[in-house]
Structure 1
Amino acid sequence: MPDLTYRLVIRACHVLFRALGLRIDVRGAYRLPQTGPVVVAANHSSFIDFMFVGLVATARGRLVRFMAKKSVFDAPVSGQLLRGMHHIPVDRAHGETAARAAYRALLAGEVVGIYPEATIGRAFVVKDRVDVKRGAAYLALRTGAPIVPVAHWGVHRIFTVGGRWSLRRGTAVQVLVGDPITPMPGEDAEALTTRVHDVLVGMVERLVDAYPQKPAQPHTAWWWPATRGGAAPAADEARHLDEEARLKADAGRRG
């Protein structure tokens, strides 16, 4: 059976979802094309949000080849699994290697998953446009693949940065798939990235608006956005925390 490792991991994920009693609501999966190259662009708020973004593709009989940081591939267990699922390692110092691998995957008709925010957003809303990368747009422009935006919310309550995790049963996780975005005549990567960013921002805001488990006391809820009166970091603080984490990681690699 092709992609045996991937399919076994999918089964394991479903077992985990059932064990946690997660209330998963996926809407709009039909918008993901069933054939041909596709770039999936998703927001990034958790270490495990790829599991839920991947649900969209499996509902359409497809698998996503996610672009993920190289350090995850370097770990013995996760690295073996990621390579077995044909995900794409991204070395920040040599990003062109990952771009070529993603390009080849799209030419082969695959679905490639990209997080335009690059790292987990600690504010739990989509990062400002200045912090968003253009990789999805470049690949779409080079290959003609549509960009399908996928927004999710609630996953960060299960496992995210800062040592935040919870095995509480019944957590609501919402996933929303937007209409495919194709480059307009004469559109460059900057403009296309802005369009994708704006769509993702709006989709995440819709999910937060409709979230069925809003905190009774928002100001005490670490996972509720500061823009909604929650205790999550505001955008400027989140950017500062991101930079601190990046510098620490770089120092660790040099050491």
Structure 2
Amino acid sequence: MTVRSLQQPRGWAWTIAVVILKPLLLLLTRRDWRHGERIPATGGVVLAVNHTSHVDPLTTAHLVYDHGRLGRFLAKSGLFRNRFLGFFLRAAGQIPVEREGQGQLAYAAAVEAVRRGECVVVYPEGTITRDPGLWPMTGKSGAARIGLETGCPVLPVGQWGAHLLLGPYASRPDLWPPKTIHVSVGEPVDLSDLRERGLTPETVQAGTERIQAAIVAEVEALRGETAPTERFDLRRARAAERAAREAQEAAEQGQDSSTTIDEEGRA
């Protein structure tokens, strides 16, 4: 369902991807696409999307492509370590994101891509949601920072249904019957007042919150449900898990020490 013809050269990598993947997506999915025309036909733009499945980059890329753009996704660097896949992803203009320490390289590449007029796709959560209800989690600051620095529009995108094709962290897909992929593109998030104040930790945090709230609103509309008042915080959850694990290990060590003392006393 091509809504708008492609406005730029595909290149060989995108040509191969489209020839192979688009027929599969047409076969395995049904599409409920809403407001895709809000994606500008040309010019730099950031799409900020919620993340529920390892396949939702493919279903999102399908929407973006059929609205005349090539998505430049920020993808985890591990995907690029495979020689063949990494070569292919780089040829398709995808941007590797290091988990630790080198995030600035991905940020700089994304800013440069936007300034060249590219459509950059960001998953602010940074990983597939761990929320029990698959609602968007708290977001990282990349999308807001890019929008504030470049002045480009940041469009919130809600998507729902890709998890039925491949569940979060599932090892096997459920390919049949076809799954309906719901995607809604929101109006650009208004960051104008924050841009006037400059790029500071406070404006970045405020922008990040606005973007996440807008994504949640799109997902709520797709699901016909209301999201939890408090978003799942992955960092806080991991810290709690780590503290619980350390407490358990300390308790086990204490029990082992007590057992040793008792045995020595009996001897």
Bucket of the pairwise TM-score, normalised by the shorter protein: 0.7 to 0.9
Contiguous gaps of at least 5 residues in structure 1 = 211-224, 228-233, 245-255
How big is the shift at 1:186? 3.5
How big is the shift at 1:122? 2.9
- Work out whether 1:147 is the aligned partner of 2:154: yes
- Residue in 2 aligned with 1:202? 217
- Work out whether 1:25 is the aligned partner of 2:19: no
- The 3-state SS of whatever aligns with 1:185 is helix
TM-score by length of 1: 0.78
- Residue in 2 aligned with 1:15? 23
CA contact (8 A) 1:145 1:182 kept: no
CA contact (8 A) 1:67 1:89 kept: yes
How big is the shift at 1:81? 2.0
CA contact (8 A) 2:71 2:120 kept: yes
Distance 1:205 1:85, change over 3 A: same
Between 7-16 and 86-95, the greater mean CA deviation after superposition: 7-16
Structure 2 CA distance for aligned equivalents of residues 3 and 155 of structure 1: 27
CA contact (8 A) 2:27 2:178 kept: no
- The 3-state SS of whatever aligns with 2:48 is strand
- Work out whether 1:126 is the aligned partner of 2:136: yes
Give the fraction of aligned pairs with identical amino acids, expressed as a percent. Answer: 34
- Residue in 2 aligned with 1:173? 181
Question: Where do 1:80-229 residues align within 5 Å?
Answer: 80-92=87-99, 93-123=101-131, 124-127=134-137, 129=138, 132-159=139-166, 160-163=168-171, 165-186=173-194, 188-209=203-224
How big is the shift at 1:208? 1.4
- The 3-state SS of whatever aligns with 2:224 is helix
How big is the shift at 1:241? 7.3
How big is the shift at 1:156? 1.0
- The 3-state SS of whatever aligns with 1:161 is coil
CA contact (8 A) 1:121 1:238 kept: no
How big is the shift at 1:113? 0.7
Contiguous gaps of at least 5 residues in structure 2 = 1-8, 196-202, 242-267
> Which structure has the greater CA radius of gyration?
2
How big is the shift at 1:242? 10
- Residue in 2 aligned with 1:55? 62
Structure 1 letter corresponding to 2:136:
V
How big is the shift at 1:79? 1.6
Structure 2 letter corresponding to 1:7:
T
CA contact (8 A) 2:135 2:227 kept: no
| Residue in structure 1 matching 2:76, options 69, 74, 82 | 69
How big is the shift at 1:209? 1.7
Between 161-170 and 82-91, the greater mean CA deviation after superposition: 161-170
Structure 2 CA distance for aligned equivalents of residues 88 and 167 of structure 1: 28
Structure 1: 4+ residue segments shifted above 4 A = 234-244
TM-score by length of 2: 0.75
Aligned length: 221
Structure 1 CA distance for aligned equivalents of residues 60 and 147 of structure 2: 19
CA contact (8 A) 1:32 1:180 kept: no
Distance 1:204 1:73, change over 3 A: same
CA contact (8 A) 2:80 2:89 kept: yes
Structure 2 letter corresponding to 1:54:
A
Aligned-CA RMSD value: 2.7
Structure 1 CA distance for aligned equivalents of residues 205 and 235 of structure 2: 24
CA contact (8 A) 1:68 1:87 kept: yes
Structure 1 CA distance for aligned equivalents of residues 68 and 125 of structure 2: 27
